[in-house]
């Protein structure tokens, strides 16, 4: 009698556990779809069932239960990720189709994930911070796994700014809430350590109204105006910002929204001088360096000698640095005259700094 009761109890318990699990099979299936699929990669019903068997063994739901649960989930969304079926080409199919695999759409396409992960390499953050961010991204992107093995920042070194992520938080809040911020700005010493700018050992404080942050030439910048004079625009390299804090003062509302992208497009280098029209002659071989550095260049030609007239917009200082960088390219600057004068002065300086000492050294050695 006691044995019969025990077997009956066991039977009831087993049935109860089975029914309990079946009612929660959906959550387990959703977990598998979330972690192991994306919009272009799915799992078959059998593969999903096999994953459940790995985790729960004989206590896993039957393949029929899995199939029914998947059909019930078809077309629904879980935290804004749609559950659906795809064919061998990654195209969505009807859930009732006899072939195909089940997947959960992702917030990002694989190409977008690659772009996001590669952008991390531009930052100056520690390896631990990099890993933490990548782990968070991996939870969002399903089976589009971002490997930590190749993701090391291109600027990684021991003296990166440990305040980088904290500063971005403060600047983002200030931009969103239209508040001013105060910070110190660092210069590197002989050991590569950042030291605040200042006089007589007293750090200089910068009180600014942040407008926007932007990448340029692989570096991350803050574009802002001085709080005491909104006509004075400044650009700071965020890596060198130190001891940032909210000033608890509202920034003035500009006459029109500031477009950081358009502002940076006019600047091959991040300088605050006003952009002017720059004209030059280039050979076709120089088109790459023109289009890669300037926004919407206007090109006319070629003339009988193969030269094209190119017109761009740029601050003089930025165009000056660009022209020096490509001094061996087939580029001739025509205007403005100020830019030509600065280039001539630079050539004279290089002549005096390098050629004349070399000439003198040769003459001395021949004596």
Tell me the pLDDT of the chain (367 aa) as tens digits: 444 444 344 333 444 444 445 456 888 898 888 888 887 788 999 999 999 988 888 888 888 889 888 988 988 888 888 888 887 665 666 545 556 789 888 777 767 777 777 677 666 666 677 777 777 777 776 656 555 454 554 444 444 556 788 888 899 889 888 899 999 999 999 988 889 998 888 999 999 999 898 888 878 899 999 998 888 899 999 989 999 999 988 887 676 778 888 888 889 999 999 999 999 999 999 999 999 999 999 999 899 999 999 999 999 999 999 999 998 888 999 999 999 999 999 999 999 999 888 888 888 887 7
Q: Which residues pair with 362 in a beta bridge?
A: none
| Euclidean distance between CA atoms 345 and 210, whole angstroms | 36
The CATH number assigned to the domain holding 27 equals 1.10.10
Q: Using the 3D structure, point to which of 66, 82, 104 is the last residue of a domain.
A: 104
* Chain centroid, CA 352 distance in Å: 43
Question: Cβ(315)–Cβ(295) under 8 Å?
Answer: no
> What global pTM score does this model have?
0.67
3-state secondary structure of 244: strand
**Same domain membership, residue 297 and residue 260:** no
Residues 6 and 100 in one domain: yes
**Which of helix, strand or coil describes residue 216?**
strand
**What is the rounded CA–CA span in Å between residue 360 and residue 355?**
9
Instruction: State how far the Cα of 137 lies from the Cα of 166, in Å rounded to an integer.
Output: 19
- The torsion angles phi and psi of 28, rounded to 5 degrees, stand at -70, -40
- Residues 348, 29: Cα–Cα separation, whole Å: 73
Domains identified in the chain, total number: 3
From 265, 286, 313, the end of a domain falls on 265
- Same domain? 88 vs 19: yes
- Quick one: which of 134, 23, 140 has its CA closest to 80? 140
Containing domain of residue 45, as a range?
2-104
Non-local CB neighbours of 247 within 8 Å, separated by 6+ positions: 179, 180, 181, 182, 207, 227
Which two three-digit tokens encode residue 136? 């968070």
CATH classification of the domain holding 335: 3.30.70
User: Which spans in the chain are helix H?
Assistant: 2-36, 45-56, 63-73, 110-120, 127-140, 164-177, 260-265, 287-293, 316-325, 337-350, 356-366
């Amino acid at each position: 009698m006691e044995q019969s009761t025990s077997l009956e109890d066991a039977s009831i318990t087993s049935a109860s556990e089975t029914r309990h699990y079946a009612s929660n099979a959906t959550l387990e299936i959703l977990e598998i779809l979330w972690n192991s699929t994306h919009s272009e990669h799915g799992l078959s019903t059998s593969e999903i069932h096999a994953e459940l068997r790995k985790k729960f063994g004989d206590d896993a739901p039957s393949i029929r239960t899995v199939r029914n649960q998947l059909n019930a989930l078809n077309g629904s969304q879980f935290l804004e990720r749609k559950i659906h079926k795809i064919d061998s080409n990654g195209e969505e199919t009807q859930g009732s189709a006899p072939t195909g695999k089940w997947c959960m759409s992702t917030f990002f396409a694989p190409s977008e994930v690659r772009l996001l992960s590669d952008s991390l390499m531009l930052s100056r953050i520690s390896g631990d911070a990099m890993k933490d961010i990548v782990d968070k991204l991996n939870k969002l992107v399903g089976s589009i796994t971002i490997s930590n093995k190749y993701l090391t920042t291109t600027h990684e070194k021991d003296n990166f700014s440990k305040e980088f992520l904290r500063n971005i938080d403060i600047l983002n809040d200030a931009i969103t809430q239209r508040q001013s911020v105060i910070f110190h700005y660092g210069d590197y010493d002989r050991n590569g350590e950042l030291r605040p700018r200042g006089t007589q050992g007293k750090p200089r404080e910068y009180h600014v109204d942040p407008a926007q942050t932007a990448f340029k030439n692989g570096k991350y910048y803050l574009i802002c105006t001085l709080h005491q004079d909104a006509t004075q625009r400044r650009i700071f390299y965020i890596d060198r910002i130190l001891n940032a804090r909210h000033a608890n003062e509202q920034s003035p509302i500009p006459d029109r929204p500031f477009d950081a992208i358009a502002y940076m497009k006019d600047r091959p280098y991040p300088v605050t001088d006003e952009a002017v029209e720059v004209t030059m002659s280039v050979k076709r071989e120089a088109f790459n360096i023109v289009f890669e550095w300037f926004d919407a260049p206007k090109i006319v030609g070629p003339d009988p000698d193969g030269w094209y007239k190119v017109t761009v917009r740029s601050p003089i200082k930025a165009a000056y640095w660009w022209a020096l960088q490509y001094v061996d390219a087939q580029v001739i600057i025509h205007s403005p005259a100020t830019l030509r004068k600065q280039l001539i002065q630079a050539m004279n300086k290089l002549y005096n700094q390098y050629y004349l000492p070399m000439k003198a050294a040769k003459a001395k050695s021949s004596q």
